[in-house]
Structure 1
Amino acid sequence: MPDWLIAIVLGLIEGLTEFIPVSSTGHLLLVGHFLGFNSTGNTFEVLIQLGAILAIISVYFTRLWSLLITAPKDPASRRFIAAIIIGVVPAVIIGVAAHDFIKTVLYESPTLICTTLIIGGIILLALDRMKFQPRYTDVTQFSLKTALIIGLCQAVALIPGVSRSGATIVGGLLLKCDKRSAAEFSFFLAMPTMAGAFAYDLYKNLDQLSLDDAGLIGLGFIAAFVSAVFVVRGVLNFVTRHGFTPFAIWRIVVGAAGLVLLAIFPAR
């Protein structure tokens, strides 16, 4: 398969999986591994996230703009913005401190990715079947403490295969947020977190990028943007109706299939 087609496929995977709890990075690295696609420092997999970032910003632009213009006079808006900032901080600190280890060690272990996909799927499946009275049903009402704990959960997703949205959703469910608000807070955390990861990875690898890389990243970006728009617009209603069980089962199936394929076709 030519690299340009692989770039489009990976872009579609990024957009379709970034905002659901199945680990977009895990899927990208596994598919890239089995297709024999390698980018310098795994930069492609991070930089095409710009398409997904712009997709969610475009869908949520009205709400984001409302937050910004009401913040000077509305304490509730300021508190929600503070909650988002607090939720992002743990991933930023750990991500910067452990960046090289994550990219050169964890990203290079497809077995780890498959294992974390399965473990995360089992946890998500168990939590989705639990019955509890939610404490929060409105994402703007999360306490700062709740936001911090969810942010710590998000930091765990620096391990590929865990899933950023999956970790934040699990954290939200454990803190008795209802399914819809847990998923939506994951969206709000995604925007600054992914933008920061994109900017930092671009800074770290700018001297290693070439015009050929830019072309492939551009194709992946467009595919990620288009597919992510459709996902963001529909996933909250899907979660409200069906919960997280379909995603949990998908994680377990993909992780198990990946382990089987790795046993048959071990890394060279």
Structure 2
Amino acid sequence: MNDLLTVILLGIVEGITEFLPVSSTGHLILATRLLGYDADRWAMFNVVIQLGAILAITVLYWRTVWTVLQGLLRGEAGAIRFVRNVLIGFLPAAAIGLLVHKHVEALLGNAEVVAIALTVGGVAILIVERLAKPGDVRGVADIPLPTVIAIGFIQCLAMVPGVSRSGATILGGLSLGVERRTAAEFSFFLAIPTMLGASTLEIWKNRHALSSGTGVGILDIAIGFVVAFFVALVVVRWFLNLVGKRGFGPFGWYRIVAGSAALIWLLNS
């Protein structure tokens, strides 16, 4: 397939799936098998373009980000709690990720693991949606510290490709009494340090390939970044509106159908 077309397709996939509870990494791995391109050559591209989706969050929530920054300068308690919650929620993934990253990398080429994780995760979403009591914690700054820590460790489940970082954190929040929209927004903000860390590590590991031109070029990465940014801008607004009206159930059913279809295809290909 033409490299430019692959860049655009992967940017669209990333922008659509990064903040939905369906696993962006899992979809990119399945795209690798479906499109038949060299996964190792595109590995850094797949990670770095996630920053485009992260930038979309900072644009959509610029008022929140600006208010928090101003609050920090003034020493306001709410702003301090907001930043504290995001950073502490990020720490478990950072620490555990550094310890097990080699094992995680070994799974990144396993599309069968993705298909199974998609299906199991879909079932988990439907169960949590049915059993979780309506949460009363509203606002990222108001999430209690023990809940933040628990969500941070739950996020580590997403190191298994196909689990979904946003899905794990959102379900964790719902299970621990966080209101739907707040659980989704905490997942969005938690993605900022998580994806910045992952992208920085990936760029450092692939710095020689980037400078030598053996991997995907900087221009291709820039195009994928921009595509992911604009697609994510649209998808996040739609996602929050859908969640407010119908909850996370539709994503559970999507995961079950997509994961089952992918597994059948993989076993027969």
TM-score under structure 1 normalisation? 0.94
2:151 corresponds to: 150
Shift of 1:61: 1.7
Do 1:12 and 1:224's aligned partners in 2 also have CA atoms closer than 8 Å? yes
* Equivalent residue, structure 2, for 1:30: 30
Measured against aligned partners, the alpha-carbon deviations of 1:45-69 in whole angstroms (never above 9, x if no partner) come to 1011121111111111221111011
Which one of the candidate residues 222, 226, 239 is aligned to 2:226? Answer: 222
SS across alignment from 1:137: coil
Question: Partners of 2:177 and 2:110 in 1: how far apart?
Answer: 34
Q: CA deviation at 1:197?
A: 0.9
Equivalent residues, number = 264
**d(CA) in 2 for partners of 1:133 and 1:264?**
42
Q: Quick one: which of 98, 101, 122 aligns to 1:96?
A: 98
Separation in structure 1 between the aligned mates of residue 232 and residue 134 of structure 2, nearest angstrom: 31
1:46-96 Cα deviation digits (max 9, x unpaired) = 011121111111111221111011123211210121111100001111122
Return the offset for 1:230.
0.7
Please report how far the alpha carbon of residue 131 of structure 1 lies from its aligned counterpart in structure 2 after TM superposition. 5.3
1:199-214 counterparts in 2 under 5 A? 199-209=200-210, 210=213, 212-214=216-218
Unmatched 5+ stretches in structure 2: none
Letter in 1 for 2:187: S
Tell me the alpha carbon deviations over residues 184-230 of structure 1, each in whole angstroms, 9 at most, x when there is no partner: 11011011111111111111111122274323322221211110011
Matched, 1:251 2:255: yes
8 Å Cα contact 2:121/2:252 also seen in 1: yes
Alignment of 1:175-190 (within 5 A): 175-190=176-191
Question: Quick one: distance in 2 between partners of 1:84 and 1:169?
Answer: 14
Mapped partners of 2:132, 2:18: distance in 1: 27
- Kept in 2, the 8 Å contact 1:8–1:223? The answer is yes
Q: 1:77 is aligned with what amino acid?
A: A
Q: Which moved more, 1:60-69 or 1:165-174?
A: 60-69
2:266 maps to 262
Tell me by how many angstroms 1:132 deviates. Answer: 1.6
Residue of structure 2 in register with 1:78 after alignment: 80
Match of 2:18 in 1: 18
Structure 1 consecutive aligned stretches of length 4 or more whose deviation exceeds 4 Å: none
**Offset from partner CA, 1:165-192 (integer Å, 9 cap, x none):** 0000111011011211111110110111
Code of the aligned partner of 2:86:
I
Structure 2 match to 1:54: 55
Counterpart amino acid of residue 16 in structure 2: L
What's the RMSD between the two structures over aligned residues?
Answer: 1.5
SS in 2 for 1:129: helix
